[in-house]
Structure 1
Amino acid sequence: MISQSPNPGRVLVTGGASGLGAAIVAAVREHGGTPIVLDRDISAVSGVPAYQVDVADTAAVTEAVRTAAEEAGGLDAVVTAAGIDRCGRLEDVSVEDWELVVGVNLFGTVSTVRAALPALRASRGRIVTVASTLALKGVSDATAYCASKFGVLGFTQALAAELKGEVGVTQLIPGGMKTRFFDDRTEQYKPQDDSQLNDPQNVANAVLFALSQPAGCEVRELFIAHAEEPSWP
């Protein structure tokens, strides 16, 4: 655990009801901050502000982010942890599913950040986008996921150049984690050995590290994975 991190303030987390997002919410609370959850299902969220929204719906997520920022009196950080996957060869994944992956992972990230920018500029806050090891290395049967995460990486690098001196930008590149992310996959696409999956709390602590940097210092990229992560280098 990080014990000396300052209060991270008001941190909006997409996908904050489960998996990595929930771990980030817990870490923000532990360090005295105020997490704000955006998720499709907020039924299990308690004790923190939460807004039910599908980040693939640009109009809805724009409204949710603006409402969240207004009700919180501003935002100090945004972490875009919402993400999905639909595995299979290109011709076997439906057009609807393929485009949904890009809609959630890439367009959802962009829409959330765009809507949060006025509040983040006002607070000189920070953005952490969540990519993946598959933003660095394309693999078979993951064209939608790789395309979306490569896109997140390019978006984040361009955004950092665009916002330098105004809003901090960090790209987070996590390896596989012990979450329910793999639950809806068929057996052939599930990890066969979860001993090489990282604890999402470790990744959440890395996010808090990025958010805890003093003014003028930016963590531009964080690659964090289990010591035996097979997809890197």
Structure 2
Amino acid sequence: MGYLFVCLCFVVGYNINEVMFNWTRGNESVIGLDTLKLAQYTVGNHYTSVTEAIYETGLYPQLVLHFDLKRSILSFILETYVPSCLLVVLSWVSFWISQSSVPARICIGMTTVLTMTTLMMGTRNSLPNSNCFIKAIDVYLGICFSFIFGALIEYAVVHFCTLTYTESSLSGSEPRLEAPPEKARHWCFTVLAVLRKVLHPAVNCCHIENPHYIDNYSRVIFPLSFVMVNLLYWTYYLYF
């Protein structure tokens, strides 16, 4: 992405009837831009011109330098894109940690979420203000944050299913819903009985035989989904 900048040079004390400005050698009057090194930008083409500034007191000559600044994508890849990808990969480490290691998995999840939040805020503050509220880099950081937060939610689901599975194993049978009263004397009991009959098949469908399978599926689903989203992201912003 390139930006066009204009540098003006004029003297307000003298109008065009008193002094005239001119570039002695045209574009060659400006030297040093070709060798100028910036951290996040590269200087592109430049050219000079002479115009007149219009004020209430008259016309004033001014020298104008036009030059292009192109943003270096390499710096953003090294400072933003690569760290965000590494944070997403780091959040997947919890899938290989034992489900009983609650502090370890919670620590990884919270650390990656907080680090990603700090990276998003720092990147947002370092970018110049523009008319576009949501930039391409904001979309990518939002995607990475969603995957990291999803890994944290995944462990919450695994932990809940593990507790349910353990309780059902100790009781010797799968958890069952209490049977509705045979003789309901109030309409509330009737409504509850109907809801139990309707929700009972849904509960059985969502029941997981072994909670360890969730981590096994996540080890494949999360990386594949992240790769697919990256392909869509870079294809859209580079070619459309």
Same fold (TM over 0.5): no
Larger radius of gyration: 2
TM-score normalized with structure 2 length: 0.30
Q: Which structure: greater helix fraction?
A: 2
Kindly indicate whether structure 1 or structure 2 has the higher relative contact order, using CA contacts under 8 Å at least 6 residues apart.
Answer: 1
TM-score (norm 1): 0.30
